[in-house]
Amino acid sequence: MPYREVASLTPSGYTPARAFSMLSLCVLAGALLASCGCQPFVAMLISLLPLLLRPLCLWPMRAAVILSLALALSFIWGVVRKEHSGPTNNDCYFIQSQLSNRRVNIKGQIDEVRERQTKSSNDGIKQDYTLIVHANELLYPKRPLSGRILVSIEGASSCVKNDVKTGANKQMTRVPLPGDTVEIAGVLRKPRGKNFSFEFDEAAWLASKGIFARLSVKPDDLHFLEPDFDEQLNKTSLPSSFSIDCTRSIEALRKVIVTAHSQHLGTVSGGLFSSMVLGDRVVSIDQDLKQQFSLVGLSHLLAASGLNLTIIVTTALVLCRFLQTAKGPGQSNSTIRRANYLSTYVPFICVVLFTAFAGAGPSVSRAAIMCLVALWARLAFVRLAHGASLALALLFALTIDPVSILDVGLQLSYGATFGIVYIYPLVELAWLKDLANVWLRALFSLVAVVVTAQIAVLPIQLQVFQQLSILVVPANLLAEPVVVPLTIMGFVSSILAVVASSQLPQWLSCCQPLLDGAGYLCWAIDWLAKFPLDWLTYIVAALARLPLVSLSVAKPQVAHIFVYYLALAAVLIWGRCRPRLACMLLSFSFVLFAAVSYIESPLLQLLCTKSELIVNRGNCDYFVCPVNLQTNETLSAQSAIGKSFVRYLNARGIHPIKAPLVGKTLLLSEEALQIQIEGGQSGLSGLQIVSSAVRGSADSMLKPRYRMQVIPSCSGPPYCRIIGEVVTPLFIPYCRTAMPVSFPLVAQIEAVKSAYLITLRL
């Protein structure tokens, strides 16, 4: 039976893809207005825009009314969802305020478990656990509780090399699993907020998940309880009990998969191989390797993403079509229909298995919904456009939870897919269709896919991470040939590891050789996967060692983001008339947006604490200098804020150097600045920054006229004052070539009582 084309134009000029797209955009607008705290009256006025634009866009009245209602209902549902996830419904938010600095005992149930491996000081591997616990009861004083708590267990278990001391590292008696009932003792505290721009805003991240209290405990402070069966049966409903059992079973199977890959490939390679199937959210991988992947722009390979699911579903479809017998003289239409059902159900099972093991993250959920919609359309003999599938997936995600629009993973996933669905056809129409060489066309198609995805998510990436990977295209070109086989082998090997770990009943003991064969086959696939894994880690390590592999840029301004996406929308609307001109405009907008953010990045950052001064020189290098200016060795930070700043710089590939001391003065020759540390009465030292370069002055080195003083204060915000200004002959970060004239620098300050950060930019 031939496919019915539902994408045919209706008399009003609309297609289902356009209808789904407009409906999803209205729901997206309503969710954004609710998440940004827009006033209801303003939101209701905005919801009338589809009705006002109806004559201009030639929409039918019914379509305009539906779009206006979708925007209004999305805003209302977003406001309701946001209010019910706030601190007013969380008892732990009030308990941590009432029982400040008092030790409490809380009984609850584990909802989620995350692991992380870190290197310990004695050259070993330390396993840390982060639990999300749903509090049920406060034991002393006894009272019921509701709400979720983030529990950090430091040093829960460790594997220490060359250490035979007993009792030096306390280990947990068992590994925590979702559904476990635990008793936790500790001091409830508020999540850490964000004092400086380089810090992670833990409070905002946890608030988006409905968590407003945290506990940091030792392994001895957590005790596993065996809940009473009758009490659990009375308090837990059947669907909830079934969900807990499924979650525990999936978590146990994940442990089996990770253990099998680690035994076959080692800790580092096994964690990398497992993360390509399960994702880094549920697999603990080496932090140095993760940082290298992030620097070269391949961090999406470590997360269970829609790319992995698409590879697996496409492979299942190809295998089903290959095994499907061609229609012969003796075959009926029912036989062909059963074969078509088989090629639909097998990919459906793959979608379910992958989503269950990797977790329903934003990217996986988006790809799963799109695949399921495409499979159902295949059963109905309907060809559905990719844009309609993407819009339908976004519509489902925002209908279930409008607040999820603030999730960065959702924004990046849908943005990259939008670029591939809508921008890539323009590139193909403009350049790729004229290429006759198949291999050359495949190469340029891969480059076009990477570039179009980057074009769509560039503002989001710079706004969230303030980092631009220069080698993202060559890194993807070198990695993609092994990504597809690694994903397929990892999925098959993981299923075989689960099968090999199964325990058969006594009456099926004759099938035990099959399970043993699955274990040997799992080992063989992991052995074959070792070679592409070594290639992947080699190219990532080699690219990460190159200079300027990643650029740290400034956050783009709201006006720049609006103009960028406005130009993008205009190009997509009228781009098919002149595809080559449209592609050139897209490339120009991409380069211009990145260049503006790059030029606005800091030329100099000075973090001053009570013990050290840390100087970040244009995101090229940094050094740590003690406040007494007595040494020029490569030092490490001592204070907690200083260590956090150093971690921030190291994660962006900025390397430490020796402090350029001349006597008791820091001399930055390229910037033509001198930095002097002055003693302060509040415990914090002040700074005096002097410009050696003066515009239009021949004796500028002898008569410095531009001077800036930073005076700390311990009373009232912003705890710091800046007097004066300085200039620099530099214009572009990372470029040490001085200009013939000097440019004034603008100073921005972030300060608390124990430290302050000065950012100097053009």
Q: Quick one: which of 86, 53, 88 has its CA closest to 67?
A: 53
For residue 33, the Cα-to-chain-centroid distance in whole angstroms is: 23
**Residue 141 corresponds to which tokens in the numbers above?**
């004083």
CA distances in angstroms from 517 to 228, 493, 522, listed in the order given: 41, 12, 8
Q: Over 80: is that where the pLDDT of 719 sits?
A: no
β-partners of residue 712 are: 720
Residue 358 scores a pLDDT above 70: yes
Please give the pLDDT value at position 233: 43
User: What pLDDT, on the 0 to 100 scale, is given for residue 716?
Assistant: 59
The type of residue at 522 is C
* Cα three-residue angle 120-466-620, rounded to 5 degrees: 70
User: Does 224 have pLDDT greater than 70?
Assistant: yes
Average pLDDT for residues 267-293, to the nearest whole number? 80
Please report the pLDDT score of residue 158 as a whole number: 45
Q: What is the pLDDT of residue 352?
A: 83
CB neighbour list of residue 323: distance below 8 Å, 6 or more residues apart: none
Q: Higher confidence at residue 441 or residue 12?
A: 441
In this prediction, residue 696 carries a pLDDT of 46
- Report pLDDT for 151: 85
Q: Mean pLDDT throughout 256-282?
A: 83
**459-516 pLDDT, tens digit each:** 998 888 888 888 888 888 888 888 888 888 888 888 888 888 877 666 666 777 788 8
DSSP 220: G
Residue 20 pLDDT exceeds 60: yes
**pLDDT of 550 strictly over 70:** yes
Q: What is the pLDDT of residue 155?
A: 65
Banded model confidence at residue 130, pLDDT cuts 50, 70, 90: confident
Q: What is the mean pLDDT of residues 623-635?
A: 73
Residue 697: per-residue pLDDT = 46
* Mean pLDDT of all residues in 274-291: 78
The Cα 34–Cα 72 span in angstroms is: 10
pLDDT digits (tens, 9 = 90+) for 570-600: 888 887 788 888 888 988 999 999 888 888 8
Closest CA to 447 of 587, 648, 589: 587
Distance CA 364, CA 326 (A): 34
Question: Taken in order 112, 118, 121, 122, is the CA torsion positive or negative?
Answer: positive
pLDDT band at residue 160 under the 50/70/90 scheme: very low
Q: Closest Cα partner for 145 from 100, 95, 71, 181?
A: 95
At 334, is the pLDDT very low, low, confident or very high (cuts 50, 70, 90)?
A: low
Task: Give the residue from 244, 320, 265, 294 showing the smallest Cα distance to 494.
Answer: 265
Could you say which DSSP state residue 751 is in? E
Query: pLDDT at position 167, please?
Result: 41
Q: Which amino acid appears at position 384 of this protein?
A: L
749 close to 756: Cβ distance less than 8 angstroms: yes
CB-CB contact of 271 with 286 (8 Å): yes
C-alpha dihedral over 562, 567, 572, 575, to 10 degrees? 180
- DSSP characters over 606-663: EEEESSEEEEEETTTEEEEEETT----S-----SHHHHHHHHHHHHTTPEE----EET
Torsion of CA 571, 576, 580, 583, to 10 degrees: 30
The total of other beta-carbon atoms located within 10 Å of residue 3's CB is 12
Name the more confident of 593 and 143: 593
Which residues, in sequence order, are bridge partners of residue 667? 674
pLDDT greater than 80 at residue 457: yes
Q: CA–CA distance from 567 to each of 17, 563, 587 (Å)?
A: 22, 6, 11
CB 157 within 8 A of CB 168: no
Peptide bond into 485 cis (omega under 30): no
Q: Which residue has the tokens 């997360």?
A: 303
Q: Which residues contact 296 (CB under 8 A, 6 or more apart)?
A: 469, 471, 472, 475, 540, 543, 544, 549, 550
> What is the tens place of the pLDDT at every residue in 653-712?
788 888 888 777 888 877 788 888 887 555 788 888 888 754 444 444 445 568 888 888
Q: How far is CA 362 from the centre of its chain?
A: 10
Q: How confident is the model at residue 124 (pLDDT cuts 50, 70, 90)?
A: low
Looking at residues 607-634, what average pLDDT do you find?
80
More confident residue, 541 or 630: 541
pLDDT tens for residues 288-303? 888 888 888 888 888 7
Predicted local distance difference test score (pLDDT) of residue 698 = 46
Mean pLDDT over 560-571 rounds to 88
Output the DSSP codes for 431-494: TGGG---HHHHHHHHHHHHHHHHHHHHHHHHHHHH-EEETTHHHHHHHHHHHHHHHHHHHHHHH
Instruction: Give the pLDDT score at 230.
Output: 44
Q: Which of 121-135, 137-151, 334-348, 417-431 has the highest mean pLDDT?
A: 417-431
- Distance, CA of 634 to CA of 612 (rounded, Å): 12
Question: Which is it for the CA torsion 638, 641, 644, 649, positive or negative?
Answer: negative
3-state secondary structure of 325: coil
Q: Tell me the pLDDT band of 7, cut-offs 50, 70 and 90.
A: very low
Q: Judge if pTM exceeds 0.95.
A: no
For 354-429, strand residue ranges (E) read: 382-383
Mean pLDDT of 268-286: 79
The more confidently predicted of residues 502 and 538 is 538
Q: What is the identity of the amino acid at 297? A: G
% of the chain at pLDDT higher than 90: 1
* Contacts of 379-382 spanning 24+ positions with Cβ under 8 A: 379/340, 379/341, 379/344, 381/1, 381/2, 381/3, 381/4, 382/3, 382/4, 382/6
Tally Cβ neighbours within 10 Å of residue 61. 9
pLDDT on residue 517: 84
Assign 356 to helix, strand or coil. Answer: helix
For the cut 70, the answer to whether the pLDDT of residue 531 exceeds it is: yes
Q: What gap in Å lies between CA 652 and CA 292, rounded to an integer?
A: 10
Helix (H, G, I), strand (E, B) or coil at 761: strand
